Amino acid sequence: MSTTRSSNLNGNIPSIVFAGEIIVKPDSQLETRVIPEYELVYFPKRSHTRYLLGDQTYEVSAPGFIITRPGEQHAYFFDPLEATRHLFIHFTVQEQAALELELLRRAVWITSYNTLLPTLLRDIMNISYSEGFHWKVRCNRLLGVVLEELNAQLCQEEAHGQLSRPIRSPQLKAALQFIDENLNRNFRISEVASFTGWTQSHLSRVVKEYTGLSPSLFIMNKRIERACQLLLYGELTGIKEVAYAIGFDDEQYFCRCFRRVTGMSASEYRTAYGDARFQNLYPVDDRDTAYPLNQWFYFSGSNIRLMKTSQKGVDGEE
């Protein structure tokens, strides 16, 4: 990472002091205070709630989290027109862990993209209410997971400028579905735009914002990704057949594109990554997950990657 250190809790589990989920009346205030422990507050929806930390003001303009550190003077001015629901957890951590975790050292506001975290926070509330088997230990460990995930989000945002976010736009979902379903033929960007009801320029802007790639480069990478699947566990044996199956009319152009994206030829790729475990896998025509299907992810050693995404086009253009 360029701007942050790779840091984590290193096995130091946080210890929850108390937690709750409450709904406050419109125009309520939590006057200036200082607390002796850390506080994590989750707001499930946007509001006009304001958080004051010293001379800085933060508005809850989206679902997200606020971190307050021990000794920080802060206050809340809740939405003046609507009741505000929020979940809070006060906790302590060992001093070394607090120094090493970027989140606890300096984060204040983090927008909520990870849909798992609200579920984990409410699991903490459910477990603490039931006081079931080893409930304190389980709650502390769940909070540790939440902090690690928020820390990872913070570091990724600072290192890369964007995250893989949920797709909320129906037009963008339609565009990605159209692309997935038509990789077997050559189509124009204008066709995708027409299918979504957007102008081509607006489609290009949204796709670039979401994927970090232009539509043409995104489609190219999708085609090569499909080619990787066909090479490893499809029924097609020839390179020319694979090229035609993903919308290329020119085998040589396909070979140049494949090498540009993966760093090797199609034949070299098949030799390097061919595996008996792939024989019974079915080539994926669409995707309903944020991660690629039909891949193995190892927690030690190297993952089996179907492709590596290049940030440049075949001719070196963005």
- Over residues 227-231, the mean pLDDT reads 87
pLDDT band at residue 309 under the 50/70/90 scheme: very low
Q: Please write the tens of the pLDDT for every residue from 175-206.
A: 988 998 999 999 999 999 999 999 999 999 98
User: 150-153: which pairs have CB atoms within 8 A and are 24 or more residues apart?
Assistant: 150/65, 150/103, 150/107, 150/110, 150/117, 151/7, 151/8, 151/101, 151/102, 151/103, 151/104, 153/110, 153/113, 153/114
Q: Give the pLDDT confidence score for residue 147 in this predicted structure.
A: 94
Go through the domains of the chain in sequence order and give each one's CATH number.
15-160 (2.60.120.280), 170-278 (1.10.10.60)
Q: Which pLDDT score is estimated for 225?
A: 87
pLDDT per position as a tens digit, 12-56: 789 999 999 999 999 999 999 999 999 999 999 999 999 999 899
Average pLDDT over every residue of 117-139: 94
Average pLDDT over the chain, rounded to an integer:
84
Highest mean pLDDT among 49-63, 149-163, 267-281: 49-63
pLDDT of residue 314: 47
> Which residue, among 165, 185, 183, has the nearest Cα to 173 in the 3D structure?
165
* pLDDT of the residue at 50: 96
Copy the structure tokens of residue 187.
Answer: 């189509």
Residue 240 has pLDDT above 70, yes or no: yes
pLDDT classification of 296: cutoffs 50, 70, 90: low
Give the CA angle between residues 159, 162, 167 to the nearest 5°: 155
**Residue 160 pLDDT more than 70?**
no
pTM over 0.95: no
**pLDDT value for 302:** 52
